[in-house]
Amino acid sequence: MKKLLDIKNLSIDFQTAGGLFRAVDQIDITCDSGEVLAIVGESGSGKSVAMLALMGLLPWNAKVSAELMQFDSKNMLAISKKERRKIIGKHIGMIFQEPMSSLNPCFTVGFQIVETLKLHLGLNRAQRRKKAIELLELVGIPAPETRLNAFPHQLSGGMCQRVMIAMVLASNPKLLIADEPTTALDVTIQAQILNLLLSLQKEKNMALILITHDMGVVAETADRVQVQYAGQKVEEQKVESLFQTPHHPYTLALLSSLPERADGRKLPSIAGLVPGQFDRPPACLFAPRCSFATSLCNKEVKKQSNLLGQALCNFPVTYTQQKNAGAKA
């Protein structure tokens, strides 16, 4: 069966003052209806860039190449810009980290929702207004009639994010991409927004791609997780097994550096920095920081089978190894 979203071998390069910079390096992304995929990674891991490429929102100096980029059985690489805009607006929705700056400060919330409705559904005036109120109710905004006349600066961050979600839902998208949707919000509001996103996703059987750096958010929401490091996908697993038995050393190190998992006062940390444009290792990008690395890791790197989470690693961590390590500690 065909997946709703199927991206294979996607690479993105940026032209910068210091030459070409590879932001995304041969990654695959698949996501199906009714599924929540989380893409985790630190800043610079290319997690947002890949999605922006799908939406065609990259700046002029980016070069995108992919073996396959298919959405809803349409080849997104071959179609014209106009067609792509049509698909994106109608079937793919995206919400961003800064809800305050994603809304236009010059217009009322109601006007902005109605504009989207006009574009996608083409109802008449009264119907559009009614639908806008319905949408605001759907995302849990109290007193939607009066909120329609509010300007974005009169609403809090959480409310603005709800409005963004309402706007995106206006066209009933098949895929919703949420790029760090709760990073700028407080924990109590974060819980509200995550609950809202998940319930809407179930209700409408949408595919949801959640881009985040917060392991807690991943654990609470995702079905499947893909971990990215320096532009590469290093591991992909179901959420339960990822947190139980991470196979890539990076995932393992990342999880054990979380304060929740630490035993002593000292946190096990990953030494060094994410490689930049000029100090990119020759083969495995994590090798200089990896405790399992050998000389082989600077020559080549192997992608493991599905059984080992497709880990991009010559020496994937197995369950027994972790148990042993646990016993030693």
Partner 1 sequence: MSKTIIEAKDLTRHYTVKKGFLQKKGIVKALESVCFKLQAGKTLAVVGESGCGKSTLARMVAMIEAPTRGSLEIDGQIASKPTSQGQRFLPAIENRKSVQIVFQNPYASLNPRHKTGTILEEPLLLNTKMQHAQRRKLAEKMMERVGLRPEHYDRYPHMFSGGQRQRIAIARAMILNPRVLVLDEPVSALDLSIQAQVLNILTDLQEERGLAYVFISHDLSVVKHLADDVMVMYLGKIVEAAPTKSLFEKPRHPYTAALLSATPTINPAARKKRITLTGELPSPLNPPKGCAFNPRCANASNICRTNAPPTEVAADRQLACFNPIV
Partner 2 sequence: MAINSYQKKNSLQKQKQKRNLRSSVLAEFWFYFSENRGAVIGLWVFLFLVLIAIIAPFAAPHGPVDQYRDALLVPPVWQQDGSWKFILGTDAVGRDILSRLMYGARFSLFIGLVVVTIAATGGILIGLIAGYFQGVLGTIIMRIMDVILAFPSLLLALVMVAILGPGLINAMIAIAIVLQPHFVRLTRASVINELSREYVTSARVAGASTIYLITRTILPNCLSPVIVQATLSFSTAILDAAALGFLGLGAQPPTPEWGTMLAEAREFILRAWWVVTLPGLAILITVLAINLMGDGLRDALDPKLRRS
Residues in contact with partner 2 by CB under 8 A are 14, 16-18, 59-61, 278-279, 281-282, 288, 293-296, 298-299
Helices (H) and strands (E) in the chain, counts: 12, 11
75 binds, among partner 1, partner 2, none (CB under 5 to 8 A by kind): none
Residue 31: its H or E element = strand 19-31
Task: Give the nearest distance from C-beta 106 to partner 2 in angstroms.
Answer: 20
User: Is 234 a binder of partner 1 (CB under 8 A)?
Assistant: no
User: Is 109 a binder of partner 1 (CB under 8 A)?
Assistant: no
| Spatial distance between the Cα atoms of 137 and 114, rounded to a whole number of angstroms | 15
CB 36 within 8 A of CB 26: no
Amino acid identity for residue 11 in this structure: S
Instruction: Select 216 or 276, whichever has its Cβ closest to partner 2.
Output: 276
- CB burial class (10 A; 0-12, 13-18, 19+) of residue 282? exposed
Q: CA Rg, the chain, in Å?
A: 21
User: Is 228 a binder of partner 1 (CB under 8 A)?
Assistant: no
Task: Give the nearest distance from C-beta 16 to partner 2 in angstroms.
Answer: 7
| Spatial distance between the Cα atoms of 56 and 68, rounded to a whole number of angstroms | 15
CA angle 94, 97, 103 (to 5 degrees): 70
User: Is 271 a binder of partner 1 (CB under 8 A)?
Assistant: yes
17 binds, among partner 2, partner 1, none (CB under 5 to 8 A by kind): partner 2
Instruction: Select 68 or 258, whichever has its Cβ closest to partner 1.
Output: 258
Amino acid identity for residue 268 in this structure: P
Instruction: Select 67 or 319, whichever has its Cβ closest to partner 1.
Output: 319
| Spatial distance between the Cα atoms of 294 and 280, rounded to a whole number of angstroms | 17
User: Is 37 a binder of partner 1 (CB under 8 A)?
Assistant: no
| Spatial distance between the Cα atoms of 276 and 44, rounded to a whole number of angstroms | 9
| Spatial distance between the Cα atoms of 119 and 146, rounded to a whole number of angstroms | 23
178 binds, among partner 2, partner 1, none (CB under 5 to 8 A by kind): none
156 binds, among partner 1, partner 2, none (CB under 5 to 8 A by kind): partner 1
Stretch that binds partner 1, among 87-95, 103-111, 251-259, 314-322 (CB under 8 A): 251-259
User: Is 268 a binder of partner 1 (CB under 8 A)?
Assistant: yes
Pick out residues in 131-160 that bind partner 1 (CB under 8 A).
156, 158-159
Task: Give the nearest distance from C-beta 18 to partner 2 in angstroms.
Answer: 8
Exposure of 92 in the CB half-sphere (CA atoms within 13 A): 26
User: Is 191 a binder of partner 1 (CB under 8 A)?
Assistant: yes
Task: Give the nearest distance from C-beta 12 to partner 2 in angstroms.
Answer: 13
Backbone angles phi, psi at 9, to 5 degrees: 55, 45
The helix/strand/coil state of 282 is: coil
From candidates 77, 100, 219, 296, binder to partner 1 by CB under 8 A = 219
| Spatial distance between the Cα atoms of 24 and 50, rounded to a whole number of angstroms | 7
Which structure tokens are listed for 95? Answer: 């919400």
Task: Give the nearest distance from C-beta 315 to partner 2 in angstroms.
Answer: 14
Task: Summarize as ranges the residues that interact with partner 1 (CB under 8 A).
Answer: 42-43, 156, 158-159, 186-192, 194-195, 213-220, 222, 239-240, 243-244, 253-255, 257-262, 265-271, 273-274
